[in-house]
Amino acid sequence: MSVLLQIRNAHKRYGDQILLDGAECTLTADTKVGFIGRNGAGKSTLLRCILGDDELDSGEIIRHPKLNIGYLRQHDPFLPGESALEFLMRDSGQPDWKCGEVAGEFEIKGNYLTCPLQALSGGWQTRVKLSALLLHEPNLLLLDEPTNFLDLRTQILLEHFLKSFHEACLIVSHDRAFLNATCDYTLDLSMGELTLFPGKVDAFLEYQKELNEHDQRVNATIAAKRKQLQEFIDKNRARASTATRAKSKSKMLDRLELKELANEQARAVIRAPQVDRRQGPAVRCRDLAIGYGDRIVAKDITLEIDHGMRAAIVGDNGQGKTTLLRTLVQSLEPLQGEVKWGYGIEIGTYAQHVYSSLPENKTVLEYLEYEAIPGTKSQTILDVAGAMLFRGSAVNKRIPVLSGGERARLCMAAILLGKANVLILDEPGNHLDVETVEALADALIAYEGTVIFTSHDRHFLKRVASAFIEVRDGAVTHYRGDYDAYLYMVQKEIDDEESRRHAAKPSSSGKTNQKTPTPKTTSSLLDERQLRKQIGQLEKQIARLDAQKKTTHERWMQATDPSESMRLHEELTKIQEELSEAETRWTELQEQIESA
């Protein structure tokens, strides 16, 4: 098996932070490696060094002469108004038939292939980027958090692609389920060192836990021995008859060093609010309709969530999961019906619309001390702050200088320290590493209150959720089954679609298995022309709104003035509502054309 890439004695630091300290690793052909490590450990920096966008302070990265790297770009490499087919042809230099064939592997066909890319959701744009990677025929894929914000169906499709990809991969991800499904090796970056483990991420984390427990036992033995030697030295060094022995014992003591425990470095310590267990319904929804203005996202919702449930809101992107959460917490008014919470409910909300409500006159630590239950120990507050990446001097940062991502993590920390008996969490695992997500899952499982949440992380969903509520096709239903059953249902739908697609491919005789389409009448052609005209107008509107959304989101993430942050957040919410409405209308018109 040939060596594609070799990292030797790599050193890299930013200021006082050491990212790589003599790190070494070898990547060979045909291996798929999951790359994990704490937030800020240096994973993305190492990827940039491999790509040549950054340099090591010392050491070397040796590349095979025939190494061809494919990198899944986080930014959009698309030109204004460019279609998926036009982008794929421009990016790869391949003919249209070849681009269409590869795009078909990701179910990109019909209008999805020819409409402006800005009119497609983030998940579909990721599919286009993956098609572009394949067209370049790389022998090493570098993927940095590829599942971020992808719905379940697109994640499964990405897994199918990676399983059928017969070259090497290096995948940075905090999603354990995704890594377990796609990677047979695990690369860990910790304390500046790289460790390549010949097994899946679950096996590595178990090995890491066992190794840490072994090191703790060794340290306990060494500590006892050191204590024994120190007591002998203290008693005997003053006596002339035993001074020589005491000096010998002192040398032994100097050689006994405690082993540094990598897993104890900045360990994520999280506990959920301490609340009393309650019985009965926490919230009831009756004849509820949710949406924006005149647009109904889902209706006829009758739902009851009991105290103590950990209910996961599931469904594809754009179906209305966040809309339902916002309606439950009353940041969005119901279009019809009612939401009724039980007596004595205190709600803690982690969602985009609360990030800008933080007080500007406090530091991180002062705010957490104010939000924590009276009597909470200072170390507990610091532990939770540290788990949310506020460590050392960062706890003294004033809130006005925090970025949007930092404000989000601060809101999460405040909720965990508070006294809410109902937690509403929208994508709580975003921006957290594998260990912190796992610590958050443990805390929520031990929580005596009620949790209602959304997440794209399947491992997190399976561990935490005790009930599933699906938002799909304008309806909200309490799904009767566990997460494995839900996964099976979605997987079967994808498999059936792939079977239909492969059945429609030309046979060896050049014919397909599809029936000959019925010729369209003149009136139907006129109707289709009108529909396509409306679709074209919508695509322009979607492209404009999508560009506005990205620009506004970037400004909001960088904003430090509270009033400006609030204004930008309100503007972002309004743009999102208009964009969702336009995308829904575009989908409806497209379905009319396909069924015509």
Q: Per-domain residue ranges for the chain?
A: 3-204, 214-264, 281-488, 530-596
**pLDDT for 529:** 67
Q: Which region, left, alpha or beta, applies to residue 578 given φ > 0 means left and ψ of -120 to 50 means alpha?
A: alpha
Give the model confidence (pLDDT) of 270-311 as tens digits.
888 888 888 889 999 999 999 888 888 899 999 999 999 999
What is the three-class DSSP state of 234?
A: helix
- Looking at 3.50.50.60, 3.40.50.2000, 3.20.20.70, 3.40.50.300, the CATH number of the domain 281-488 comes to 3.40.50.300
Same fold, 3-204 and 281-488: yes
Q: How many C-beta atoms lie closer than 10 Å to residue 310's C-beta?
A: 20
Can you give the length of the chain in residues?
596
Sign of CA dihedral 217, 218, 222, 228: positive
Say which residue the tokens 């379905």 belong to. Answer: 591
Rounded to 10 degrees, the C-alpha dihedral 301/306/311/313 comes to: 10
Q: Which helix (H) or strand (E) holds 60?
A: strand 58-63
**What DSSP string runs through 327-356?**
HHTTSS--SEEEEEEPTT--EEEESGGGGG
**pLDDT for 560:** 63
Q: Which helix (H) or strand (E) holds 550?
A: helix 522-558
Question: What is the CATH number assigned to the segment(s) 3-204?
Answer: 3.40.50.300
Residues of the chain with pLDDT under 70: 1, 73-76, 149, 240-241, 243, 258-268, 352-356, 404-405, 431, 498, 501-529, 557-563, 565-566, 591, 593-596
What is the three-class DSSP state of 292?
A: strand
Q: How many C-beta atoms lie closer than 10 Å to residue 498's C-beta?
A: 14
**pLDDT for 290:** 92
Q: Which helix (H) or strand (E) holds 13?
A: strand 3-14
Q: Which residues of 204-234 are buried (b: 16+ CB within 10 A; e: fewer)?
A: bbeebeeeeeebeeeeeeeeeeeeebeebbe
Q: Report CA-CA distances (Å) from 581 to 135, 314, 320.
A: 34, 20, 11
Give pTM, 2 decimals: 0.64
Least Cα distance to 276 among 157, 418, 421, 464 occurs for: 421
Q: Report CA-CA distances (Å) from 265 to 61, 63, 192, 395, 505.
A: 27, 32, 12, 18, 54
Per the CB < 8 A criterion, the answer to whether 556 and 568 are in contact is yes
Strands 58-63 and 3-14 turn out to be antiparallel
**pLDDT for 562:** 58
Strands 168-172 and 140-144 turn out to be parallel
Alpha-carbon span 573 to 559, nearest angstrom: 16
Per the CB < 8 A criterion, the answer to whether 407 and 431 are in contact is no
Per the CB < 8 A criterion, the answer to whether 96 and 85 are in contact is yes
**pLDDT for 355:** 61
Alpha-carbon span 225 to 166, nearest angstrom: 53
What is the three-class DSSP state of 57?
A: coil
Give the model confidence (pLDDT) of 575-590 as tens digits.
877 877 777 777 777 7
Per the CB < 8 A criterion, the answer to whether 428 and 272 are in contact is no
Alpha-carbon span 237 to 388, nearest angstrom: 49
Query: What totals of helices (H) and strands (E) does the chain contain, helices first?
Result: 18, 18
Least Cα distance to 281 among 248, 303, 258, 249 occurs for: 303
Least Cα distance to 343 among 275, 416, 278 occurs for: 278
